[in-house]
Every structure is written in C-alpha cells, then in structure tokens.
Copies of this chain bind each other. A is one copy, B any other.
Amino acid sequence: MAGHGARGRSGGRPTLEEVAARAGVGRGTVSRVINGSPRVSDATRAAVEAAVAELGYVPNTAARALAANRTDAIALVVPEPETRFFAEPYFSDMLKGVGAELSETEMQLLLIFAGSDRERRRLAQYLAAHRVDGVLLVSVHADDPLPDMLSQLEIPAVISGPRSAAETLASVDSDNFGGARSAVEHLLSRGRRSIAHITGRLDVYGAQRRVDGYRAALRDAGHEVDEQLIEAGDFTEEGGRRAMAELLRRRPDLDAVFAGSDVTAAGARQVLREAGRRIPDDVALVGYDDSAIARHMEPPLTSVRQPIEEMGRAMIDLLLNEIADRRPAASRGLDRHQVVLATELVERASS
C-alpha cells in the first residue's frame, strides 16, 4: 500500500485535478480560471467553468491556505467580555459596517472576544499561528500590548481610535476635535457664554482631542479659555455627577455644559436638576455619541454623532489594502494610513 493514498477517495469532494481531467486541460489552467487570472482564452475558460459546474467543485481552503500562505480570514478582536459587546450599540453598528463591506469579498470574518486573561492567551496563540490574514482592533486601551504584538508578528492590523497622535498602526477615527468644536460652536451660537466641559478619560486619545476642540472653538470665537470651566470625567455617569458638582461649586454662573459622553451628560443632568437648574433654560447640555440615552433623556439630549457603521467599512478598506500591499514586500511605513471621518451634531431640546 502506498501510504494512506485511498483516504477520502470514492465519492469525496472533487479536486482541481479531476476538474482538469474533465475539462481536458492542465491543473494550472483550472487554477487560473478559479482565481480569475486574465491569461486564459475564452474557450478554455468556458470549458473549465462547465467542468466545475458539472462536478460541483469547491476549492479546498486548507490546501489553498497551505500553498498560498494565506487564510482568507480576518478577525475582529474585541478586548472586552461578551457582555459589554452586547450591551453597547457601538459594536453592533461597527459589525454592521464591517459585514457589509466584507460581503463584497471572499474574506471570512471571525469575531473574537478577549476579555479575560485566559481568552487573551488563547488569542495570542491564535495570532501566533497566523490563522488570520489581518486584524481589526476595536476599543483598545492605551497600555494594551495587543497592537505591538501584532506589529511583531507582522500581521496587518487596523485600530479604531488611535492610541495617540503618533499611532503607528493604520487607524480609523471619527473627528473628535471637529465634533467637540461643533458642539461648542453650537452652544456659542445659542448665546451661551460660560460653557463648561466635562472631559472623558484623558488617557484616551479621543478624549484629549475633544478637549482640544473645545478650546479651539472658544479661542476661534475670540473668547479666552477659562480653565476653571474644564473638569475631568471618565465617561461614566458617576464621573459626570462628580464633575458637575465640582463645576457648579467653582462656577455657579455657568450657562452650558459640553459633556464627553452621553452617559456623562446623564450624570451631569441629574446634579443640575438637584441644584434647581432647568435644562435648557438655565443651563444648556450637549453630549457625545448620540446613543440611545441621548434620545430618551428628558429633555432629549443634543449630541455629537459618530458615523460608526462607516468607520467599520473604512476599517475593512484599510485592512484589505494592508493585506494586499504586504504580499509583494511593499513600501511599508511610507504613507501612514489614518482615516478620520466627520461627525455630525444632532440638535435636540437640551440646548
């Protein structure tokens, strides 16, 4: 017996070779047809396609992956527990964009949660085995080792929300600076003059950019920035309450608040109410994210919308380019791939 040569014969899935025999051509030619190479005559192509159809041929992915050294799969890595993934519409919107953009291609999307340490180790193993051609990274914290690991393994990756202005990975972001600026400009145009800002977690780059945008809007309008009106929050409701109380103590005369997130705004709103301030009559309130909270708040919250679905699409675009570029040892690091998408101010009754 020659090895295990007969394994899986007899009625198994047809192979390239069998298609070639049926079409009366060579293996290489069938491969070219399957992969859409232009160097095939129309007659031959038709013959091969007929054979493929008759035999119900479907390429063996494992063989292709082995020979071509690629997997035709990319991973969306969520460094959070499943629970948060389902709780936040952010991920669902992002996934929608990613899925839509990917449906044009042959790429398979894998969704990988890496919330626990255990899961992180599994993921590391998984990536080390190069089981995907590229990685989409969402909601990565500043000190996460994941991005560096990906660089080390030379796996193409795109991050949503760069970790800093010096981000080395390809990244997609919304225009935090512009979004914050438009929120403040909106408040100014409504005649507000004493506009406070409750920031997000300042170790998140996007939160820093929002502070920058806040400052820029004021300065561009000829106002000077009063540091007393800026108080650090952390994206949470509790943080919003704390910061609002502090701001109210320091500057009881403030007439507007721009919060770093909708959740923060919800906390601020509560404190404002308790202090007897009416919204928007006494104090105008603007949030960030345009989440469900914003729509359901009383009064409905003006908020800055980020185009999350489009961000997902853009991430796929970038990633597919990275993957394609890598094939013929491309001009790496020449042009940095950073995409920034515009935000939109959604005006509601709170301002």
Q: How far is the CA of A126 from the CA of B72 in the complex (A)?
A: 12
Asked if B131 and A61 make an inter-chain contact with CB atoms under 8 angstroms apart, the answer reads yes
A75-128 CB contacts (< 8 Å) to partner B: 82-83, 86, 89, 92, 95-96, 99, 103, 108, 110-111, 113, 118-119, 122, 125-126, 128
Q: Which of A11-67 contact B (CB under 8 A)?
A: 13, 56, 58-63, 65-66
Please state if B110 and A82 are interface contacts (CB–CB under 8 Å): no
Contact A110 B110 (CB under 8 A): yes
Oligomer copy total: 2
Number of A interface residues in the complex (CB < 8 A) = 36
A13 contacts which chain B residues (CB < 8 A)?
130
Is A8 part of the binding interface, using a Cβ–Cβ cutoff of 8 Å? yes
User: Please, what's the 1-or-0 string for A256-273, where 1 marks a CB less than 8 Å from any CB in chain B?
Assistant: 000000000000000000
Enumerate chain B residues within 8 angstroms of A61, measured Cβ to Cβ.
Answer: 65, 129, 131
Name the contact of A118 in the complex, choosing from B7, B82, B92, B103 (C-beta under 8 A): B103
> Are A122 and B103 interface neighbours, CB within 8 A?
yes
Residue of B nearest to A7 (CB): B69
A168 within 8 A of B: no
**Contact present for B60 and A62 (CB under 8 Å):** no
| A39 → B minimal CB distance (Å) | 18
26 residue pairs of the A-B complex, CB under 8 angstroms, read A7-B69, A8-B69, A13-B130, A58-B125, A59-B129, A60-B66, A60-B129, A60-B130, A61-B65, A61-B129, A61-B131, A62-B62, A65-B65, A65-B66, A66-B66, A82-B96, A82-B99, A83-B96, A86-B92, A99-B113, A103-B118, A103-B119, A108-B126, A108-B131, A110-B110, A110-B111
A residues in contact (CB < 8 Å) with B: 7-8, 13, 56, 58-63, 65-66, 69, 71, 82-83, 86, 89, 92, 95-96, 99, 103, 108, 110-111, 113, 118-119, 122, 125-126, 128-131
